[in-house]
Structure 1
């Protein structure tokens, strides 16, 4: 790069107004580039190196890339003294400008315009997601996101498993399949109807099954979440909110991404959840918390205050059988900063029991004027102690409280921790090791209490062990949950069946859960996706070649692939590492054929049953 800098300097020195004695006159050069100055362009065009770097040939015409040229000239290595690079100022910059001077600052990362279709299918395989990261043209993306056929429908209730005859807007839903594709299939039915979304996505820690094979792991992770959050936002109602759980490592990147997707002004808060009591012994400074980023879709969002605890309610009693009911004593003094004296609020209150008069303490003020105090005395709403001889206090009646609870703080150290969640899973299943950090029902209960009301729709598109769906069902919310992993059958679905049967773990006792209700299960109908799974499971080069011989006969081979040319180079294919063979085989598949489009439901090739056709027709309101 330095050689190119020196070369461009030498070229520009042919005009002393641009460069003289090795000193570049940056302002003159940039201004000339902006004006497409003929002298500057002539100098650059006459030199083969600068012509190659800063011009593009379009139908025989040389077109000057002035943006690329300005960025090149603005590089600090082009300046005669790095001390003058930013005029002795310190600050964050974007494209060489201070953020206060730049028009727009965005989170820019490779692949940001890609569709990262791939999800996780098997934790133990540690699939390298970059295989799935492909740049698709606009029309291809539209086809990828068309509604898909749903199959293998089942309804579960207290009587067990049934073949459903209908599906309605009020059904709880569990969908198996890629969550990006599934959410786009949900859009026609649930756009703008979801009140609360909670997700606990892969954290990109290297230990959560979200691993990559190159230096763009952060970029791929951001693309993966961005694709899904875009459609998730469309599913949210105008009053809806989304809670996203994340650790510290990439929390700040995620927040900037969310600021762009949901708008910075729709950021509500960052909740800190205390996930364990003490730091791990193998750490000098060990993490004891996780973050939960809370965003709304619009300024019209609604949240609930936290219900008063039994301890808070225990303060209220009615020892004097007051007709207004339970009350608790409260301060009658005004809470005025600095003790500001107000004459109209400074007067004696006479104890009707003893005749003793009391003034506000410390030369302060009562919180009400004399007229209001006299009214409270008349209605027996001022308390003078258990013996009737103490200083006056206000009787604060439970029936007079104007809110439905107490404000929620951003530090959550009053809910169960990770060890509770592990215990809950163990009690349900004996031992399940798919989940390193399951979330406790008490944490999800607090989120659902704050973010929704009974009968609202709650969505979790990283279902995992099914905690969100289980808690939502117990709290009388309608749930939609999506999971791609194979444990959806042995864990997620089984957990919800246990909830319907009335299991008493987690929050069951607190919410008086006795069982009941139902949910509908369905799967995205696979087409080429079945081959993806087979490719992931390949164990040898011989198996890879055998699979190619089957794959090349399928109609979903990409139009970019020539099977005959592939066969002609099969020897080269056999010499590749197994991971590279997998990557190449996956690239031959047209990703628009991973699942069967609803538009193709009548195609006899796919053999969709009449029962599935009927349920899909109802689901898509067609």
Structure 2
């Protein structure tokens, strides 16, 4: 559904899929001697109308199953192919996983994204205390996060924050703060003879000799450093000269990001976040927002409008992390996709009225947004106490609103090819499609379906006027409920680039329809009827 509107627009994907521990429930086809359609009907996965039943959608993938790994890979592969389509050219994907499938996932990702686009395998120490239940005697205290890029054309992660506390200016150098840098070489004299020479302070005459591996710079470069007074000379010949490294000369590229992530961040921290928001344990083993936030900071630009996608949303940790990070002034956006997986009837979440995991996710975003807004208000209050009243533009502002969409049947009739025995039957079927609108179609749903089919963002601004809808000011206009000359003139006055109208609203008024098409053409507006 998202392929047309979001093709090549997602900057980063993070997913935390089922780890395939033997206790996970997910969709998978496990019979290949018959068609999937036949199998689903035979085992009761589909009802009489052909829709998946909840019993058929979520079943446990047992370790005793002979296709244990295949089932998991069959579930993952099509999703990852579609995910790659959505990534920007410079986009990256992070996938949390553990030892059960990390080896298979690497092979699958190599096939889909290409081995050359492997960025790294990050390691997260997820458990703070040892697990003494494992019969092997080994406590598994870590998980992995695989990282792949869409295309390997340079640096993909932003890097770690540069530590500048050690920079100072004790000698009031006009070039600013500095630290001392090592000048000892890296290779022996046989490999780099031009860097092996005695180094002498021209002002004191002290000879510091030459280290075993020589100096890092040849004589010409060293002479320039001496002339620019960048060398720190020890008082004793037994000391080692060093060079000044100035803070303002460092390039903008940050130090590399470490593959050991989530320092002092554990699974229990994610559980604690849920507990604090809901005052109860409604979700098992959610990832901590600090861990996801660390990945988002590496894969996105806080100054842009980057989109982060999570299509195994779970309790919506990713949405929470994005909102939390945007307190830095960023405008990152999230898309979370979660199937309506039922909560177990014995669970605390179900007893509290949350029928599905998606229900928990939606409520978490609401509560997290409210909590973040409260934190921002308190921070603004403290800032106002420090600043003059007229500096209200210093306030932090953050939009934590979100839209919820549920996948549904189309508002337009779907042609289903069935065996037709004669021309009369074909004629009867064609008559059903004279009006292509489904019987139970809802106008608002139709607006968003046409948005997607037109390749527009679901976050587009929809303005409901009396008789027509404007999308993002004048990008697109829909005429769906009624039409007359006055409405056509109003629509044209907005100078839309494209107008889509339902054919049936013209009520067989061919003259009005023809005039409308001519008026649109004269105004340079693309006009289409459905």
TM range (shorter): 0.5 to 0.7
Shift of 1:212: 3.4
Relative CO higher for 1 or 2, CA cutoff 8 Å, sep ≥ 6? 1
C-alpha contact (below 8 Å) 1:351/1:392 kept by paired residues? no
C-alpha contact (below 8 Å) 1:466/1:496 kept by paired residues? no
CA separation in 2, counterparts of 1:236 and 1:600?
39
Q: Pick the aligned partner of 2:159 from 306, 310, 326.
A: 306
Q: Pick the aligned partner of 2:224 from 365, 369, 375.
A: 375
Matches within 5 A, 1:440-451: 440-451=288-299
C-alpha contact (below 8 Å) 2:124/2:262 kept by paired residues? yes
CA separation in 2, counterparts of 1:522 and 1:276?
34
CA separation in 2, counterparts of 1:268 and 1:601?
51
Task: Tell me the SS of whatever aligns to 1:606.
Answer: coil
Tell me which structure has the larger Cα radius of gyration: 1
CA separation in 2, counterparts of 1:270 and 1:449?
17
Q: Is 2:464 the counterpart of 1:464? A: no
Task: Tell me the SS of whatever aligns to 1:350.
Answer: coil
Q: Pick the aligned partner of 1:280 from 128, 131, 145.
A: 131
The structure-2 alpha-carbon separation of the partners of 1:491 and 1:267, relative to structure 1 and needing over 3 Å to count, comes to same
Shift of 1:394: 0.9
CA separation in 2, counterparts of 1:269 and 1:467?
23
Q: Pick the aligned partner of 1:205 from 17, 21, 27.
A: 21
Shift of 1:297: 1.6
Task: Tell me the SS of whatever aligns to 2:403.
Answer: strand
TM-score (norm 2): 0.60
CA separation in 2, counterparts of 1:600 and 1:392?
88
CA separation in 2, counterparts of 1:399 and 1:339?
36
Q: Is 2:424 the counterpart of 1:608? A: no
Q: Is 2:398 the counterpart of 1:516? A: yes
CA separation in 2, counterparts of 1:602 and 1:498?
46
The structure-2 alpha-carbon separation of the partners of 1:415 and 1:243, relative to structure 1 and needing over 3 Å to count, comes to farther
Q: Is 2:361 the counterpart of 1:488? A: yes
C-alpha contact (below 8 Å) 1:247/1:291 kept by paired residues? yes
Could you list the runs of 4 or more consecutive aligned residues of structure 1 that deviate by over 6 angstroms after TM superposition? 386-389, 599-602
Give the gaps of 5 or more residues in structure 2: 27-59, 340-357, 379-393, 419-432, 457-499, 501-530
CA separation in 1, counterparts of 2:218 and 2:158?
31
CA separation in 2, counterparts of 1:190 and 1:386?
65
Q: Is 2:73 the counterpart of 1:222? A: yes
CA separation in 2, counterparts of 1:601 and 1:338?
86
Shift of 1:220: 2.2
Q: How many residues align?
A: 361
Match of 1:242 in 2: 93
Shift of 1:432: 2.9
TM-score (norm 1): 0.52
C-alpha contact (below 8 Å) 1:307/1:404 kept by paired residues? no
Shift of 1:301: 5.8
Q: Is 2:7 the counterpart of 1:191? A: yes
The structure-2 alpha-carbon separation of the partners of 1:265 and 1:458, relative to structure 1 and needing over 3 Å to count, comes to same
C-alpha contact (below 8 Å) 1:273/1:291 kept by paired residues? yes
Q: Deviations over 1:398-456 (max 9, x none)?
A: 2222352212232336352222222333333322331x222122222221222221222
Q: Is 2:193 the counterpart of 1:342? A: yes
Matches within 5 A, 1:323-338: 323-336=174-187
Matches within 5 A, 1:51-90: none
Q: CA RMSD in A?
A: 3.5
Shift of 1:238: 1.7
Shift of 1:393: 0.5
Matches within 5 A, 1:557-576: none
C-alpha contact (below 8 Å) 2:121/2:144 kept by paired residues? yes
The structure-2 alpha-carbon separation of the partners of 1:344 and 1:251, relative to structure 1 and needing over 3 Å to count, comes to closer
Task: Tell me the SS of whatever aligns to 1:223.
Answer: helix
Give the gaps of 5 or more residues in structure 1: 1-184, 506-511, 529-554, 561-598
Shift of 1:526: 3.1
Q: Is 2:300 the counterpart of 1:452? A: yes
Match of 1:8 in 2: none
Higher helix share: 1
C-alpha contact (below 8 Å) 1:239/1:301 kept by paired residues? no
Task: Tell me the SS of whatever aligns to 2:152.
Answer: coil
CA separation in 2, counterparts of 1:389 and 1:600?
96
